[in-house]
């Protein structure tokens, strides 16, 4: 039996990949590196004719691969979604306990617990850059669950409680009318309450009676990202997840207008996102996709932090913003706004604290001017390399 592959299944594009000997029950062979590639099998019959299988298409080899040693790594004990965290006090408490436990297990581990996207030891399945990134995401999903991983990396829509909506929109569908009314109401349409069909993120909603509890949880979750010595010891997916939840809560107006304590949480989030210690992952093994996400989320967090503050002022908020800028401007200079578009929430709630695309982009420009190495670092990152500065040495 002959196994053939094609980039897209078109005629004339098929090439022989492997020959399965007679009597063999299974066979392994390299898969095409492009998602959507086609695979088929052909077998010669005894009468000289050939039988051809149906064409199958590669979707994601990582999801079909056998589990590997990373499955024994630390993970959250309880599966949960962001929707369940805020209205359920028990779920929020379990989540905080899990974060602390995961931080301790990760800090005590001597080997990486989440396989870096550049690691090829997970098997021959992760043969391309796309597959290695999917393998990394699969490990993250095993660590914190699929819903929270998708939230951390911006691959799904917002999953927080939603306020009931009473909006009306004009439907393009003409409603049926009685026959005797046809002449007088041929063009009649009616306003119909339809579910939104756009792909824009939904606006988070937290009930007023739940806001104080949510503020307390958010502050504790941020504190759980840092070790006793002030370094970030939580795994990168957990840091991104907490940053995402914090930004969503700001958009939900969990903090009152006069309550500025959210700024301290943002400052500590920036320290965690910019930490050189990637908790369970060597710095040089961090994938370009993860780096881009970290940089973009840091830019969104900084944009929120500098709201109503300046880098040159002497006020408490100004000093906090200037200190955070000094420590994180290198990340912001590399940031691509599109990598954190899910965190740019429309300001539909009164007094919501959000970071629009225009403000994030406006913040990146001066950061790039301050960082003469930003362009070189961006090109290295695009090529799959990672660069860091230690004691003035690159």
Mean pLDDT score of the chain = 74
Residue 269 and residue 222: Cα distance in Å, rounded?
Answer: 6
Instruction: Compute the Cα dihedral for 340, 249, 206, 88 and give only its sign.
Output: positive
Choose between 374 and 245: higher pLDDT: 245
What global pTM score does this model have?
0.66
Confidence of residue 156 (pLDDT cuts 50, 70, 90): low
Average pLDDT over residues 366-378: 74
Q: Give the pLDDT score at 150.
A: 87
Instruction: Compute the Cα dihedral for 170, 172, 178, 180 and give only its sign.
Output: positive
Asked if residues 382 and 288 have their Cβ atoms less than 8 Å apart, the reply is yes
Q: Give the pLDDT score at 384.
A: 84
Q: H-helix or E-strand containing 57?
A: strand 56-57
Q: Give the pLDDT score at 258.
A: 87
pLDDT digits (tens, 9 = 90+) for 180-217: 444 444 444 343 333 333 334 456 678 888 889 889 88
Render 245-307 in DSSP notation, one character per residue.
Answer: HHHHHHHTT-S-TT--THHHHHHHHHHHHT-S--SSS-GGG--HHHHHHHHHHHHHHHHHHTT
- From first CA to last CA, the distance across the chain in angstroms is 53
The residue ranges of DSSP E strands in the chain, in sequence order, are 2-6, 15-19, 38-44, 50-52, 56-57, 169-170, 191-192
Confidence of residue 261 (pLDDT cuts 50, 70, 90): very high
pLDDT digits (tens, 9 = 90+) for 13-29: 888 888 888 888 777 77
Q: Give the pLDDT score at 186.
A: 44
Please say if the pLDDT value at position 38 is more than 80: yes
Q: Give the pLDDT score at 299.
A: 95
Please say if the pLDDT value at position 298 is more than 90: yes
pLDDT digits (tens, 9 = 90+) for 222-233: 988 887 777 777
């Amino acid at each position: 039996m002959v196994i053939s592959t094609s980039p897209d299944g078109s005629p004339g594009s098929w090439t022989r990949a492997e020959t399965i000997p007679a009597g063999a029950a299974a066979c392994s062979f390299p898969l095409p590196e492009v998602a959507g590639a086609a695979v088929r099998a052909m077998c010669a019959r005894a009468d000289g004719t050939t039988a051809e299988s149906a064409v199958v298409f590669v979707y994601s080899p990582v999801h079909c691969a056998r589990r590997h040693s990373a499955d024994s790594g630390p993970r959250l004990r309880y599966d949960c979604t962001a929707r369940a965290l805020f209205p359920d006090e028990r779920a929020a408490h379990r989540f905080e306990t899990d974060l602390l436990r995961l931080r301790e297990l990760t800090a005590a581990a001597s080997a990486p617990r989440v396989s870096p996207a550049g690691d090829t030891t997970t098997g021959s399945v992760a043969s391309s850059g796309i597959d290695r990134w999917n393998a990394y995401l699969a490990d993250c999903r095993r660590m914190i669950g699929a819903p929270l991983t998708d939230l951390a990396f911006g691959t799904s829509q917002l999953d927080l409680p939603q306020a009931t909506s009473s909006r009306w929109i004009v439907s393009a569908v003409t409603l049926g009318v009685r026959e005797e009314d046809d002449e007088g109401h041929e063009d009649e349409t009616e306003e119909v309450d339809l579910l939104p069909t756009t792909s824009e993120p939904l606006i988070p909603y937290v009930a007023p009676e739940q806001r104080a509890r949510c503020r307390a949880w958010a502050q504790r979750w941020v504190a759980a990202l840092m070790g006793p010595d002030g370094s970030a010891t939580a795994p990168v997916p957990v840091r991104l997840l907490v940053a995402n939840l914090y930004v969503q809560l700001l958009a939900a107006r969990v903090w009152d207008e006069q309550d500025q304590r959210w700024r301290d949480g943002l400052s500590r989030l920036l320290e965690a996102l910019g930490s050189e210690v990637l908790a369970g992952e060597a710095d040089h093994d961090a994938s370009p996709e993860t780096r881009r996400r970290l940089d973009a989320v840091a830019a969104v967090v900084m944009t929120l932090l500098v709201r109503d503050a300046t880098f040159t002022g002497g006020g408490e908020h100004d000093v906090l913003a200037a200190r955070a800028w000094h420590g994180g401007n290198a990340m912001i200079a590399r940031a691509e706004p599109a990598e954190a578009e899910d965190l740019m929430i429309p300001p539909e709630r009164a007094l919501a604290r959000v970071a629009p695309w225009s403000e994030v982009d406006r913040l990146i420009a001066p950061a790039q001017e301050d960082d003469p190495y930003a362009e070189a670092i961006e090109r290295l990152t695009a090529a799959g390399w990672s660069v860091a500065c230690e004691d003035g040495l690159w």
